[in-house]
Amino acid sequence: MTTSSPLVTGHVGLNVTDIDRSLLFYGDVLGFDVLGEGKEDGRRFAFLGRDGTLVLTLWQQADTAFEPTRAGLHHLAFTAPSMDEVRAAESRLRDLGVDFAYDGVVAHGEGTASGGIFFHDPDGTRLEISAAAGAEDAPVPTAAAPTCGFF
């Protein structure tokens, strides 16, 4: 298949157990705007984005929390413009008692400048906020594999 331009990710859809709780987390905590939503009982959903651009869709149709041993989404990563922004997000998330996978900023791999924070949303989905530089002196949780890899 030949295309004139490369494919890019359009948006990500996540199943959630409680859309109101997830809207608070992704909206208030991570700063996404609600671009549209469906409030019909049994068919709740929300389109989230920034500056009018769709980034994430939440679908209230899960009965249980995220299960990392099942096929499907591994983790969802967001890119910040700087490590200062990653650390500001970390501070906000810590103040709210969010569950972190690692203690603070970690490097993506041994000797890399990129890195970030890894944490979980209310349904246990693993999330990442990272920057391309600024993690040069940050620890690496596992030297034998990428930090965002196994859990």
Each residue of 11-24: pLDDT tens digit? 999 999 999 999 99
Half-sphere exposure of 65 (CA within 13 A, CB side): 9
Range 28-61 burial, b when 16+ CB lie within 10 A, else e = ebbebeebeeeeeeeebbbbbbeeeeebbbbbbe
Q: What is the DSSP-derived secondary structure letter of residue 121?
A: -
Query: 57 with 76: CB under 8 angstroms?
Result: no
Mean pLDDT (the chain, rounded)? 92
In this prediction, residues 115-137 reach a mean pLDDT of 96
Q: Give the bridge partners for 60, in sequence order.
A: 16
**Statement: residue 73 has pLDDT above 70:** yes
- The alpha carbon dihedral of 40, 56, 98, 88 has a sign of negative
Q: For residue range 39-54, what is the model confidence (pLDDT) as tens digits?
A: 999 899 999 999 999 9
Tokens representing 144? 């034998």
pLDDT of residue 16: 97
